[in-house]
Structure 1
Amino acid sequence: MSRVRVPLPAPNKPTRRIFRKPAGESSTMGLFGRDSQTNRPQQGQVNRTSSPSSPSPGSTTTIGEGTKISGEIHGSTEIRIEGEFEGSIAISGIVFVGGTGKVKASVHAATVNVAGRVDGDIFGDQIIELEPSAVVTGNLLAPKILIREGASLQGRVEMASPAPKTSSAKNSQGKGKPGKGHAEKPVKNDGDNGQPGAGTKK
């Protein structure tokens, strides 16, 4: 009896469906948790970009319109005067006198911009600017001075670097002392000359 070999049927194609992913899963597959690690830096970047930048603290001191202040101002901030101020100003920042501002003081700052009225000397370490509405009675001293058309100025203008704020105050006091000494000497001399005259009469 002879044997007949029958070829085995080919494997069924549906067996390949075992490796297909369910419809609910994403198209990408994480390999050893790699996808979860790569997503964490992306979330951190989104948080950094979405966080708003902290606002810088205000550094401007304003004397509003209708306000009257007298005294001394020292510091390094910006000063805006729209009201009235009397005294002295010595700062390393910017001084702006608005159109409604009235200042009766000596002003020493890095930059001085005047659009109102100032009665006193102005010293600028960098520049002094007088707007068309400015009315200044006093001397100006700064490396750069800009006087716009229409501004009123009664005083001298000198383009030079002013002395430091601390030394300028000492020099102004020192200049006053010799003046008093010269005024006292004639009084003493008159008294000395008067005593011998009185003795001769006696």
Structure 2
Amino acid sequence: MGKHDINAFLGVGTSFVGRLTFGGVVRIDGEFEGEIVSSGTLVVGSQARVAGRITVGRLVCDGFVAAEVSASASVAVHARGRVVGSVCTPSLVVDEGGRLDGLVSMGRDEVLADPPALAAGTSPETSQKPDRKA
């Protein structure tokens, strides 16, 4: 079996609710709701609808994803793809026509949990300056 062979496939017209763990590559063309955990690659086909929490090595989205996404290697949203929710990944590609609506963090998970000053509406420049005494 080659490194790009698909290990599992959820076809058009099928739906699954629950938790999915896998190694290698999994392709979803149906509907999935729940949690997906893998160090491998998740491919969301053009007719797929995925909702929940996704923690993978790579996400390739050509369909619809409404989730909290954490990808240790990369996220690619193709021209027909749409991601709604939070995305944390070191590498992000959104093709022309693809949509990403939500919070994006280009780094480790700790980055999402750390920005209290930014959440309060201050800019990165002002939150990094030391306090001056008059």
Normalising by the residue count of structure 2, what TM-score does the alignment of the two structures yield?
0.75
The aligned residue for residue 154 of structure 1 is: 101
SS at match of 1:121: strand
The aligned residue for residue 107 of structure 1 is: 54
The aligned residue for residue 41 of structure 2 is: 94
Bigger Rg, which one: 1
The aligned residue for residue 38 of structure 1 is: none
Within a 5 Å distance, the mapping from 1:31-110 to structure 2 comes to: 56=1, 60-110=7-57
1:162 Cα deviation from its structure 2 partner: 3.4
1:59 Cα deviation from its structure 2 partner: 5.1
| Distance of 2:8 and 2:24 partners within structure 1 | 7
Instruction: Please list every run of 5 or more consecutive structure 2 residues that lacks an aligned counterpart in the other structure.
Output: 114-134
Decide whether the 8 Å contact of 1:61 with 1:77 is kept in 2.
Answer: no
Structure with greater proportional strand content = 2
User: Percent identical across equivalent pairs?
Assistant: 26
| Distance of 2:86 and 2:80 partners within structure 1 | 18
Q: Which amino acid aligns with 1:95?
A: L
Q: Does 2:66 match 1:132? A: no
1:123 Cα deviation from its structure 2 partner: 0.9
Superimposed CA distance per residue, residues 122-145 of structure 1 (whole angstroms, 9 cap, x where no aligned partner): 111000000011111101110111
The aligned residue for residue 52 of structure 1 is: none
1:161 Cα deviation from its structure 2 partner: 2.5
Q: Which amino acid aligns with 2:56?
A: A
Structure with greater proportional helix content = 1
1:121 Cα deviation from its structure 2 partner: 1.3
The aligned residue for residue 185 of structure 1 is: none
Normalising by the residue count of structure 1, what TM-score does the alignment of the two structures yield?
0.51
| Distance of 2:6 and 2:94 partners within structure 1 | 27
| Distance of 2:34 and 2:42 partners within structure 1 | 14
4+ long deviations beyond 2 Å: 56-59
Q: Which amino acid aligns with 2:43?
A: F
Decide whether the 8 Å contact of 2:6 with 2:27 is kept in 1.
Answer: no
| Distance of 1:75 and 1:64 partners within structure 2 | 17
Decide whether the 8 Å contact of 1:124 with 1:162 is kept in 2.
Answer: no
Decide whether the 8 Å contact of 1:114 with 1:129 is kept in 2.
Answer: yes
Superimposed CA distance per residue, residues 25-71 of structure 1 (whole angstroms, 9 cap, x where no aligned partner): xxxxxxxxxxxxxxxxxxxxxxxxxxxxxxx3865110000001110
Q: Which amino acid aligns with 1:139?
A: S
Instruction: Please list every run of 5 or more consecutive structure 1 residues that lacks an aligned counterpart in the other structure.
Output: 1-55, 164-170, 172-202
| Distance of 1:122 and 1:73 partners within structure 2 | 14
